[in-house]
């Protein structure tokens, strides 16, 4: 059996857990995922591990938060005055908002609290500050077309 290599399309099943064991993603509902090795669709550490695997192998890859979504930064939690929101907005905790940064790039903010005068929003990725563990099973290796 051959190992996967850069440029191959691989079919994988995976689950992702935080260090406390919380499941934060898997392929149970979506089914196996096809990715092309070298396209940057997954964390480089997972891609490197897949390149060492043969079809049927299952491996666990641990990724520290600094190499995943980075540390949690409290300066990314901001209060937005209600008057700065569109009048039709009805923000609720957990809702995602799109905002524009000073440099013009887009950022997603997640509403964490709502008051009469303002909305507290968090610009951190929901998994910032979390160490992650990927359980990956290699199902198939295809040559890139």
CA atoms of 11 and 104, how far apart (whole Å)? 37
Tens digits of per-residue pLDDT, 68-98?
A: 999 999 999 999 998 888 888 889 999 988 8
Query: DSSP letter string over 39-51?
Result: S-SS-HHHHHHHH
Q: How is domain 74-122 classified at the CATH fold level?
A: Thrombin, subunit H (2.40.10)
Question: What sign does the CA torsion over 88, 89, 90, 96 have?
Answer: positive
CA atoms of 69 and 74, how far apart (whole Å)? 14
Please give the chain's pLDDT, 145 residues, in tens.
Answer: 688 888 889 999 999 999 999 999 999 989 999 999 989 899 999 999 999 899 999 999 999 999 999 999 999 999 999 888 888 888 999 998 888 888 888 889 999 999 999 999 999 999 999 999 999 999 999 876 6
Q: How is domain 9-69+128-142 classified at the CATH fold level?
A: Chitinase A; domain 3 (3.10.50)
């Amino acid at each position: 059996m051959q190992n996967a290599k850069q440029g191959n399309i691989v079919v994988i099943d995976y689950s992702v857990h935080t260090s406390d064991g919380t499941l934060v993603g898997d392929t149970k509902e979506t089914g196996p995922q096809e990715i092309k090795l070298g396209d940057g669709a997954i964390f480089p550490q997972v891609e490197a591990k897949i390149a060492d695997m043969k079809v049927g192998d299952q491996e666990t890859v641990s990724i520290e938060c600094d190499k995943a979504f980075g540390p949690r930064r409290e300066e990314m939690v901001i209060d937005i005055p209600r008057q700065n929101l569109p009048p039709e907005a009805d923000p609720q905790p957990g809702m995602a908002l799109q905002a524009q940064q000073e440099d013009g790039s887009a950022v997603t903010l997640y509403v964490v609290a709502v008051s009469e005068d303002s909305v507290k929003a968090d610009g951190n990725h929901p998994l910032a500050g979390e160490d992650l563990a990927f359980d990956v099973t290699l199902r198939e290796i295809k040559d890139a077309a």
